[in-house]
């Protein structure tokens, strides 16, 4: 039997950007741990299909995480329809690869809104309620690029570096009201977001060589860390980023 500190059954969890990839794997992990899970994305049909493949009590809510009024309405709808949120995973995100000199203003704002402003908007709406109730767990999906960067992804790294600092700020503001906020920092994980890199044999081999674990990450590799940060075992853990990267950020 699992230690009771890791028991999160009966909690309600929202995972943003969970129609596929890391978000869907984390949602499945939370559902398997006995949580009531709410999937989020921008496409209702995709979400319904994803929800049908998960066990337990699974719901969906459609909103664009970059749109403040939709976020506010979406969180209110979840709380009314499903129940008080105990756990929020700010996972929705995107990648745009281009040399910085060729990066357009529109793309800058798009990636900033999707990867950073989203966590502020969704986090604020959830935390309004969590702080009032005196408990809650928020997990912001950061990245190994919260720490290090490669050519061609400076804006992405800037959003993820800032998300790490936003995590610490949320911890400072909401910790006194019983809400713990942490980051989970994936390394290179095979998803649609990294498809061009996986398909690039040279780059793909570089990732395997460069990662002490000797392989690309799988979405399921992230589940244990997320469940820990969402559980009572992490009640005194806040403002941290847990890197799940096969060791990559630790070695040259």
Which residues 5-24 are close enough to bind ligand NDP by CB under 6 A?
16-23
Size of the site for ligand NDP (CB under 6 A): 29
Would you give the binding string for ligand NDP spanning residues 185-224, x where CB under 6 A is met?
-x-xx-xxxx------------------------------
According to DSSP H, which parts of the chain are helical? Answer: 21-32, 44-52, 68-81, 105-112, 118-133, 154-174, 195-199, 201-210, 223-230
DSSP state, residue 145: G
Q: How far is the CB of 217 from ligand NDP (least distance, A)?
A: 7
Distance CA 14, CA 98 (A): 32
Verify binding: residue 174, ligand NDP, rule CB under 6 A: no
Contact status: 74 vs ligand NDP (CB under 6 A): no
CA angle, corner 78, sides to 241 and 27, nearest 5? 45
- Pick between residue 153 and residue 171 the one whose CB is nearest to ligand NDP: 153
We find the least distance from the C-beta atom of residue 232 to ligand NDP, in angstroms, to be 25
Locate 49 and state its tokens: 């299909």
The interface mask with ligand NDP, positions 114-153, x = CB under 6 A, is x--------------------------x-x----------
According to CB under 6 A, which one of 42, 110, 124, 177 is a site residue for ligand NDP? 42
The radius of gyration of the chain's CA atoms, rounded to the nearest angstrom, is 17
228 in Cβ contact with 180 (< 8 Å):
no
Per-residue buried b or exposed e for 147-180, using 16+ beta carbons within 10 Å of the residue's own CB: beeeeebbbbbbbbbbbbebbbebbeebeeeebb
- Footprint of ligand NDP on residues 78-117 (CB under 6 A)? 91-94, 114
C-alpha span between 186 and 202 (Å, rounded): 21
Cβ-based nearer residue to ligand NDP, 43 or 200: 43
| CB of 152 vs ligand NDP, minimal distance in Å | 15
Instruction: Choose between 6 and 103: whose C-beta lies nearer to ligand NDP.
Output: 103
Residues that bind ligand NDP (CB under 6 A): 16-23, 41-43, 46, 64-66, 91-94, 114, 141, 143, 186, 188-189, 191-194
């Amino acid at each position: 039997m699992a230690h009771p500190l890791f028991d999160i059954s009966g909690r309600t969890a929202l995972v943003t950007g969970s129609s596929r990839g890391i978000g869907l794997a984390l949602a499945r992990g939370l559902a398997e741990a006995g949580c009531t899970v709410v999937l989020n994305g921008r496409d209702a049909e995709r979400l319904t299909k994803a929800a049908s493949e998960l066990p337990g009590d699974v719901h969906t809510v459609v909103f664009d995480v970059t749109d403040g009024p939709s976020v506010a309405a979406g969180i209110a709808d979840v709380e009314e329809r499903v129940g008080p949120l105990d756990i929020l995973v700010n996972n929705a995100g995107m990648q745009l690869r281009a040399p910085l000199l060729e990066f357009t203003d529109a793309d800058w704002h798009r990636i900033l809104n999707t990867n950073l402003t989203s966590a502020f908007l969704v986090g604020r709406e959830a935390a309004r309620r969590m702080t009032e109730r005196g408990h809650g767990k928020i997990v912001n999906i950061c990245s190994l690029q919260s720490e290090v960067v490669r050519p061609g992804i400076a804006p992405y790294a800037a959003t993820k570096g800032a998300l790490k600092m936003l995590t610490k700020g949320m911890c400072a503001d909401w910790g006194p009201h019983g809400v713990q906020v942490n980051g989970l920092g994936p390394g290179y994980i095979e998803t649609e977001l990294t498809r061009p890199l996986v398909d690039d044999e040279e780059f793909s081999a570089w990732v395997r060589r460069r990662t002490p674990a000797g392989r690309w990450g799988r979405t399921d590799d992230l589940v244990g860390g997320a469940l820990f940060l969402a559980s009572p075992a992490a009640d005194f853990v806040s403002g941290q980023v847990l890197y799940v990267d096969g060791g990559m950020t630790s070695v040259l």
